Structure 1
Amino acid sequence: MTSAAERPVLFLDVDGPLIPFGTSYGPRQATVSGSSASLDQGNPLLDRLAPGIGPRLLALGRRLVWATTWMDDANEAVAPRLGLPKLPVVEWPDACADDSPRGLHWKTRHLVEWADRRPFIWIDDEISAMDRLWVAAQHPGQSLLHRVDRTKGLTDADFSTLTDWLRAAARR
């Protein structure tokens, strides 16, 4: 059984999982006046965020961490629209290692280091088979690398997969 100290971290990417890039999304809707309006200037993609996703992510009961190139801007522009609190942010290095195996995502090593042997879930739209193989060989804890369809974003099926994995991880 997984102890409270080993509860999975959930690394969350923004572009693709939370801001889908499918063709079914129309033009930007009118901006509502208020505090979020200034954050929306220059980024019409924020209208693609589904507000119901935030409570569903929180309901998973895991430590949510931004793993995105949005960095802390995710806390400023994305989190409030989803009803999420300010989350920790993975800080990316200025340069990526040149000795990575071909096909390994540039985030993979850093997320394994950040997890520090703890179980983790990584939600992203760019996860590959190489990432899964590398994590399986290099990370001693449980992990779920969950690739989201960037044209749809997180769906009910994705949440079912996450919930099933968390249930199984709790039994180990």
Structure 2
Amino acid sequence: GNPKKVDHLLNLDGAKERLQLFKEDLLEEGSFDSVVEGCDGVFHTASPVRFVVNDPQVELIDPALKGTLNVLKSCAKSPSVKRVISTSSVSAIAFNTRPKNPEVVVDDTWFSDPDFCRESKLWYTLSKTLAEAAAWKFANENRIDMVVINPTMVVGSLLQPEVNESVETILKLINVTLLVMPN
């Protein structure tokens, strides 16, 4: 692996005693089988966050959709996994025509409209929408206890030395180099 990508993790308190790193491929089915074996819970947080892409299918949709399903397929094979917690995005549920008022309950059937996302070129939104819909379908069919979190942005202290897309967007707003939030 690339030491620059993991050194910050290896330097955390207790990492030498409790941290195990695995090099896996989200796009390769079965890649996570040995990683989740023996785990009670699995957190799936990996998905590309990019608002400008050249090839949406390759850069966003395939990694989000296939990656999510590959992690869930590995979890379904492991009898030790009791719950999966997946990080999606508010964008996966925000772009639809359903009424938005206090009486409406958002549940696992509430998704952004994929056709609208394609027409509007909201590729990140489409990737998260398709991935979450497929995740719920797979989890329900395979009796996986899954929780999905749909944050607007994930911000806070960074473990890695690089600024991520969410923090970069906020910095642009603060520095007035971005006047409108991207979809």
Q: TM-score, normalised by structure 2?
A: 0.28
Q: Could you say which structure has the higher helix fraction?
A: 2
Structure of higher RCO (CA pairs closer than 8 Å, 6+ residues apart) = 1
Q: TM-score, normalised by structure 1?
A: 0.29
